[in-house]
Amino acid sequence: MNLKNYLEAIDQMDTYKRYGRIHRVVGLMIESKGPEASIGDVCLIHTPSHTSKTIQAEVVGFHNENILLMPFKEVREISPGSLVEATGSPLQIKVGPGLIGSVVDAMGESLDDHLLPKGLRSYPTEQSPPNPLSRPTIKEPLHVGVRAIDTLLTVGKGQRIGIFAGSGVGKSTLMGMIARNSSATINVIALIGERGREVREFIENDLGEEGLKKSIIVAATSDQPALMRMKGAYTATAISEYFRDLGYQVNLMMDSVTRVAMAQREIGLASGEPPTTKGYTPSVFAVLPKLLERTGTSKQGTITAFYTVLVDGDDMNEPIADTVRGILDGHFVLDRKLAEQNQFPAINVLKSISRVMNQVVDEEHKQAADRLRSLLATYEENSELIQIGAYKKGANREVDEAIRAYPNIISFLKQGTHEQAPFTEALIQLKELNRGSDN
């Protein structure tokens, strides 16, 4: 038996435990004198002996040779001088195929009072994005079961899409439709900063039993500390990466990346960063590309990512929306005006784009989609004249065709929440729609 590797591991092992003591607590931040630790390491805070509990916290900065810690959970039991123990490693979660169908928190612990299944392995939550030259190009379409997306905004396997919308326009419903109907092998769904009520409602109403069977849900609700909401995003991304490395076709759905940015803003402000654009700290704009670039294609598999972006006051150019749009490979804009007209999903096709669509569809499909977009744009440009009766039939051939086709286009774009829309049928409908407009 070769003992060399074991002896080397023993030689490299640090047999000392390093401790520090809490110096002060200011707002969200805990300041301690020692122990020796690095940024991102997890430390254990020992509460007074009568409770014998430990609280996990992460090193987020340093101040005058003191360590700045942010706890993963609300802190009430600590007192001045409480011991702080260094673990010497960042946060790791348990992950494996047995996790499918589970609902976990940002630490990877089960939320439904059941123990995690056996056979899971430890996996770090923070990884580097893949080497850009090791990423295969996107060449295959991913059918998501939503007619408007599959035909006019076709998604590729490994693409990263932003779903931009104000509150109450149907982001969660659209995510549920994609999770149930997508051709991906597995869904990883991150619910970050959601109301506690919405988590169960999403699972039961939007996702359903059928969707949950091939999904893993990571929930970090709005009442939890900022670090837990931030870690929820990292945990969901790490789970996706694990399954991608096994060769799975993964869908990562994060609702919402705006609340991830808000959590990072809280952490940054608490650790002493200056507020810049709309109060967001510089670290927010450094963290977002690192997080979003971790998804996409690799040699083993793909992560197709859907990130919802909550836009304040329906302003599509606010700082987070603008930054995320520049990082991702396309965006779907949900329009409140369409939702008010009872058009669901309320995707504004003319304001949305899939940057890889031309790479994953054939020429006939592309021409049919371009033709329908052209008809829709022509109608929108002349809608005021048409509605007040100022347009006279026969004045413009293109406008006449657009008026004739418009009711059928709207009917085509509408889809019930539980309505099935197989890709082949949707494509046939698109082509028939174009033929009908030419007659």
Sketch the domain layout of the chain as residue ranges.
Answer: 17-90, 93-361, 364-436
Q: What's the confidence (pLDDT) of residue 391?
A: 85
Tens-digit pLDDT profile for residues 241-268: 999 999 999 999 999 899 999 999 999 9
Helix axes 257-270, 282-292, angle to 10 degrees: 140
Quick one: 114 exposed, middle or buried, by C-beta within 10 A (0-12, 13-18, 19+)? Answer: exposed
Residue of 336, 402, 358 lying closest to 152 (CA atoms): 358
Q: How far is 331 from 309, CA to CA, in rounded Å?
A: 10
Residue 102: DSSP 8-state: -
Residue of 73, 115, 65 lying closest to 94 (CA atoms): 115
Q: What's the confidence (pLDDT) of residue 52?
A: 65
Residue 210 predicted with pLDDT over 70 = yes
Q: Please, what's the largest Cα pairwise distance for the chain?
A: 91
The token duo for 389 is 């009766």
CATH architecture for residues 364-436: Up-down Bundle (1.20)
Q: What's the confidence (pLDDT) of residue 2?
A: 66
Residue 370 predicted with pLDDT over 80 = yes
Mean pLDDT, residues 315-323 taken together: 88
pTM for the model stands at 0.91
CATH of 17-90, one of 3.40.50.720, 3.30.565.10, 2.40.10.170, 1.10.600.10: 2.40.10.170
Tens-digit pLDDT profile for residues 325-346: 999 999 999 999 999 999 999 9
CATH of segment(s) 93-361: 3.40.50.12240
Q: What's the confidence (pLDDT) of residue 439?
A: 59
Q: What's the confidence (pLDDT) of residue 195?
A: 85
Residue 26 pLDDT level (bands cut at 50, 70, 90): confident
- 48 three-class SS: coil
Residue 191 predicted with pLDDT over 80 = yes
Q: How far is 160 from 176, CA to CA, in rounded Å?
A: 17
Residue 407 predicted with pLDDT over 60 = yes
Q: What's the confidence (pLDDT) of residue 50?
A: 59
Q: What's the confidence (pLDDT) of residue 172?
A: 87
Residue 119 pLDDT level (bands cut at 50, 70, 90): confident
Mean pLDDT, residues 130-158 taken together: 95
State what percent of residues in the chain have pLDDT above 90.
66
305 or 171, higher pLDDT: 305
Q: What's the confidence (pLDDT) of residue 438?
A: 64
Backbone angles phi, psi at 26, to 5 degrees: -130, 110
Residue 216 pLDDT level (bands cut at 50, 70, 90): very high
Residue 238: DSSP 8-state: H
The residue type at 353: I
The residue type at 271: S
- 318 three-class SS: coil
Q: What's the confidence (pLDDT) of residue 437?
A: 64
Q: What's the confidence (pLDDT) of residue 280?
A: 93
Residue 27 predicted with pLDDT over 60 = yes
Query: Lowest mean pLDDT: which of 14-18, 23-27, 87-91, 131-135?
Result: 14-18
Q: What's the confidence (pLDDT) of residue 402?
A: 93
